[in-house]
Structure 1
């Protein structure tokens, strides 16, 4: 059959994965043994964060990327949660800020100093409290600064403004456990999978369900993500418990463009998408293989298998390095950080072999930068939707110095917390649209939020006053104790003296 093309032409056909040498791995990290579906690892060009085992609550360790090798057992950790940490995600616009979700029902946001931690960190920048059951996932908005999405076991999705510590939108359209959530390219929509086997496309601002359709038939967990063009890639199980992946049009979720059966393993397939190249990595916790595909919507069957990276040990989790952290000089186009059960974290680099040493423009189109395209108010109040800001990697990427995240809580933030015996979700949504809670502020005028600088100064002054009051209270207690001791001695002495004087009088009286 001359003239038939057996192998599809692709610049990624020869991509290969390579594990870093032992001396460039991270050892003796007490990786969590939790069975939750999260990947328990997040990485950026500055830091590696891994969820760890911790007594008395949840914790994760943060290491500078350069701190390879064996880690001290008493290495400082981030330990402010009262329950197990279920997910962690670095902010895409500030490499020093990380969000963590926990079984203690809170999402906390932390600021890590350049150079890493020297002592345990227990105080977050802000604690986001709304969920009434454990938080399961967190994801940052892809274009708007300080906008964060969280998912709880209470079947709610919350969109937060981290800069004010308030929930912007509470999404309550799921009747059962939410398996996964993901923003689209601009962050205007989210796609979710649920235990009811439906896939939903939801307006991220209004919380309205735009489209919904039947997902995978199996009862086990499923995943869904948006691709850059708006199509949706899902993973799940068939009725016969075979692992599957599918590609769908968001307007016809019931009718997959393709549905492919992979194998009969148990691990939940997790799709990891590279927006720049269209490469799609599919793997699972407990797997020792990572399959990778190229998505090309102009060539059926659209999701083209390239190869499989094989290793001898299964993974407990994975972290994904943003493209700006890859080594362009070596034509590295993707990097994963694999968590081992023995405490090792192992970087896996994927390369495209090229003979030329010059910058490969076709491998490195402009990538998503660490500069937000919108502020939280532009996205939420002005309802703007824009693509992420892109940068060229030619000449390499220079990491920014630490930027401080400031939080200015609004005066009505506490009114947005759930209260026992009252359904406040509707009130929260009304307030976030500009309304007010009449029961809380019936006879009071609305208060304008203080400017950021004045609010910060006020918080600092309040902190100093609290310290002084505590010092005064401690001194008062000490004085009372000393006076009590002195008083007891004085009373004993006076009672003895009075008794000795009173005895003769009493005898004389009788």
Structure 2
């Protein structure tokens, strides 16, 4: 039997861990139980949530300084409680935001000379000082994320989400309070809307410039453990990871334009207990899945609403957290399409994902333009309602594209069908005496030999047309028309219910098929 192999430039991609001398060792990684990646990277620096006494702190170290970290190393002590999350500005590799259990959000600009002095062994090196602090939330601030196109716009999350104008040091938008703590948030490609997952098992979509309420709310993963959300680059798709009621790890792909209809793709991974951390490589349409407590990293290629499994990187050492380098900073000379930083034990280990090629020339098919380090909008422009795509950079010659202004997409929930309105009861009239039937009106008839067609999914429209045409009977008054409309609405609602039931059965069958495949693979 012949087998057809799907064409892909990334079928043979493999993960290559760094040599021992190129890891970042002697790092006291935070022991906080909060579900976070623990480590984040810019094009120049690495930030790690640090296990520090006397308040909260995180560590920053240059990417090119590897080996054993000095015992006395400068920290950023911007919080009075453990740091829960950090995020680097996409337009400034030295600007980092942090959020902590004290409910504060801090902005820190890295002084490279202080870090270099610490690595050279100089004594009495001062700590890094934040340039701004915000009393952001009444409860712990668990997440922080910069805007992808507007410089100086920052989102922070607790049981609500606030959008900050960093230069003005004030919150410009605040979402309605979620039912519980926000577990994850992600901006779309142009920064028009953002998506959140919450402990109440809901997936929400917000347009902060349109109001504080969620644009759409949909039921997501039904398990009680952590859930994550990641926008799939320039696509109108969102990927979420979470758990089922049976504690199975799941991956959902959603159409962001209509979350209510449910995920368009469902994958069941396994029954491990660690949260799946999703990372989307927008340049290559590859989804990386790293499970907490796992030693492996799975990767899938997205195409036509399907996630095609490529392979996985395996390691005997389980990861506690992970992050990826910005796509613009990978090593194109080595055909590196992505680089991860894995938090394991007391070290941060780089892992390069490489596509093997014989030629030393630039591989254009592996490196489409990537988001650059230049903002396409200022904070004031975004706040005034402007929307633009990220400025892209050519990975071969580092030339940047021109800013492209786009119209903001409208994310509106589907309008529910109106409920059937009962027709008024007709007035009682005496029944006329039965007389001889009039001659029938000539109507086109189907030839006896012509087979009767099978019903199709579109019969509702045809029925409406036929029933709304004038009848040869005298019952064409307003009362009978109202009855026909009510009957058609009732029939329409019934058909909608049957379609929804069919979609549910299809999703259940797809889930069973994935389980059978996973079982067969284990055998």
TM over 0.5: yes
Instruction: Measure the CA separation in 2 of the matches of 1:252 and 1:219.
Output: 24
Instruction: Measure the CA separation in 2 of the matches of 1:177 and 1:281.
Output: 25
Counterpart in 2 of 1:100? 98
Instruction: Measure the CA separation in 2 of the matches of 1:9 and 1:394.
Output: 24
Give the alignment's TM-score, normalised by structure 1.
0.74
Shift in alpha-carbon separation, 1:36–1:79, aligned structure 2, 3 A: same
Alpha carbons 1:211, 1:251 under 8 Å: kept: no
Alpha carbons 1:26, 1:70 under 8 Å: kept: yes
Alpha carbons 1:141, 1:183 under 8 Å: kept: yes
| Secondary structure in structure 2 of the residue aligned to 1:121 | coil
Q: How many Å apart are 1:395 and its aligned residue?
A: 4.0
Q: Structure 1 residue aligned with 2:368, among 340, 361, 365?
A: 365
Alpha carbons 1:156, 1:171 under 8 Å: kept: yes
Instruction: Measure the CA separation in 2 of the matches of 1:395 and 1:252.
Output: 39
Q: Give the length in aligned residue pairs.
A: 389
Counterpart in 1 of 2:33? 35
1:338 aligns with 2:342: yes
| Secondary structure in structure 1 of the residue aligned to 2:215 | strand
| Secondary structure in structure 1 of the residue aligned to 2:150 | coil
| Residue deviations 1:328-379 (CA, integer Å, cap 9, x gap) | 00100000011111x1111000001111111111111111000000000100
Give the alignment's TM-score, normalised by structure 2.
0.72
Q: Structure 2 residue aligned with 1:327, among 327, 331, 342?
A: 331
Alpha carbons 1:324, 1:397 under 8 Å: kept: no
Counterpart in 1 of 2:12? 14
Alpha carbons 1:182, 1:191 under 8 Å: kept: yes
Alpha carbons 1:62, 1:116 under 8 Å: kept: no
Instruction: Measure the CA separation in 1 of the matches of 2:77 and 2:263.
Output: 44
Q: How many Å apart are 1:121 and its aligned residue?
A: 2.8
Alpha carbons 1:104, 1:135 under 8 Å: kept: yes
Alpha carbons 2:74, 2:128 under 8 Å: kept: no
| Residue deviations 1:113-147 (CA, integer Å, cap 9, x gap) | 23453433353111122311111000000000000
1:393 aligns with 2:395: yes
Alpha carbons 1:78, 1:120 under 8 Å: kept: no
Instruction: Measure the CA separation in 1 of the matches of 2:150 and 2:350.
Output: 30
1:286 aligns with 2:293: yes
Instruction: Measure the CA separation in 2 of the matches of 1:16 and 1:326.
Output: 15
Question: Where do 1:91-130 residues align within 5 Å?
Answer: 91-117=89-115, 118=117, 119-121=125-127, 123-130=129-136
Counterpart in 2 of 1:222? 227
CA RMSD of aligned residues (A): 1.5
Instruction: Measure the CA separation in 2 of the matches of 1:49 and 1:213.
Output: 34
Shift in alpha-carbon separation, 1:115–1:13, aligned structure 2, 3 A: farther
Counterpart in 1 of 2:59? 61
Shift in alpha-carbon separation, 1:126–1:244, aligned structure 2, 3 A: same
Q: How many Å apart are 1:184 and its aligned residue?
A: 0.4
Moved more, 188-197 or 117-126: 117-126
| Residue deviations 1:174-218 (CA, integer Å, cap 9, x gap) | 112211111000010011111221111110323332222111111
Alpha carbons 1:79, 1:120 under 8 Å: kept: no
1:353 aligns with 2:384: no
Counterpart in 2 of 1:459? none
Alpha carbons 2:276, 2:291 under 8 Å: kept: yes
Instruction: Measure the CA separation in 2 of the matches of 1:76 and 1:313.
Output: 28
| Residue deviations 1:273-309 (CA, integer Å, cap 9, x gap) | 0111001001122111110000112xx6x11110011
Q: How many Å apart are 1:169 and its aligned residue?
A: 0.5
Counterpart in 2 of 1:156? 160
Alpha carbons 2:56, 2:100 under 8 Å: kept: yes
Question: Where do 1:295-306 residues align within 5 Å?
Answer: 295-297=302-304, 302-306=306-310
Instruction: Measure the CA separation in 1 of the matches of 2:190 and 2:333.
Output: 30
Alpha carbons 2:76, 2:130 under 8 Å: kept: no
Instruction: Measure the CA separation in 2 of the matches of 1:255 and 1:88.
Output: 31
Alpha carbons 2:94, 2:110 under 8 Å: kept: yes
Instruction: Measure the CA separation in 2 of the matches of 1:393 and 1:250.
Output: 29
Alpha carbons 1:235, 1:270 under 8 Å: kept: yes
Shift in alpha-carbon separation, 1:268–1:130, aligned structure 2, 3 A: same
Q: How many Å apart are 1:396 and its aligned residue?
A: 6.0
| Secondary structure in structure 2 of the residue aligned to 1:292 | strand
Counterpart in 2 of 1:317? 321
| Residue deviations 1:221-242 (CA, integer Å, cap 9, x gap) | 2112221211111111111010
Alpha carbons 2:104, 2:135 under 8 Å: kept: yes
Moved more, 42-51 or 84-93: 42-51
Instruction: Measure the CA separation in 2 of the matches of 1:61 and 1:142.
Output: 24
Counterpart in 2 of 1:276? 283
1:168 aligns with 2:172: yes
Counterpart in 2 of 1:238? 244
| Secondary structure in structure 2 of the residue aligned to 1:362 | helix
Instruction: Measure the CA separation in 1 of the matches of 2:114 and 2:237.
Output: 39
Structure 2: gaps (5+ residues) = 118-124, 401-523
| Secondary structure in structure 2 of the residue aligned to 1:23 | helix
| Residue deviations 1:451-474 (CA, integer Å, cap 9, x gap) | xxxxxxxxxxxxxxxxxxxxxxxx
Instruction: Measure the CA separation in 1 of the matches of 2:73 and 2:398.
Output: 31
Instruction: Measure the CA separation in 1 of the matches of 2:103 and 2:354.
Output: 41
| Secondary structure in structure 2 of the residue aligned to 1:188 | coil
| Larger RCO: 1 or 2 (CA < 8 Å, sep 6+) | 1
| Residue deviations 1:16-59 (CA, integer Å, cap 9, x gap) | 00001001111111111112111111112211111111110111
1:193 aligns with 2:197: yes
